[in-house]
Amino acid sequence: MAGLVLKGSEIKAIREGKVSFNDAYVFVKDGELYVKNLYIGEYSNASYSTHAPLRERKLLLNKSEIRKIIRDTQSKGITIVPVSLFINNRGFAKLDIAVAKGKKSHDKRESIKKADLERQMGRKF
């Protein structure tokens, strides 16, 4: 769970639920973690000082947590992905992140077969 560096209109847009995780991922830059492609839509009542919806946002973590995550991602095929975004009881936006391993091509084929089978079963009834 990491904090985010946000602008005022971004936190208000999060409270409105204008967030999308499509293609979002976390990367390391200068020993710090940033989230990229996390879409936070524009706040409807914002005036001239709006934000860019897809800008890079810095994650707030302790140095020891950052080192641990960087160490875990040194292996090939490992990435950091955002899982959920919520506002805690103190009013701060928190991003849940996970260190994940991508599927191999034979695993993808299994998943596609399973989805096709379920779709065909649904058609029969």
Query: Each residue of 1-10: pLDDT tens digit?
Result: 899 998 888 8
Whole-angstrom distance, CA of residue 16 vs CA of residue 42: 10
Per-residue tokens: 76: 């090939």
Give the list of residues 6+ apart from residue 44 with CB closer than 8 angstroms, or none: 16
CATH of the domain at 83: 2.40.280.10
pTM of structure:
0.76
Domain that holds residue 110: 2-124
Q: Quick check: 61 and 96 in contact, CB under 8 A?
A: no
Q: Is the per-residue pLDDT at 125 higher than 70? A: no
Query: Each residue of 16-55: pLDDT tens digit?
Result: 888 898 889 999 999 899 999 999 988 878 777 778 888 8
**Residue 7, by phi and psi: left (phi above 0), alpha (psi -120 to 50) or beta?**
beta
| Domains in the chain, number | 1
Closest alpha carbon to 13 in 62, 55, 75, 60: 55
Range 52-66 average pLDDT: 91
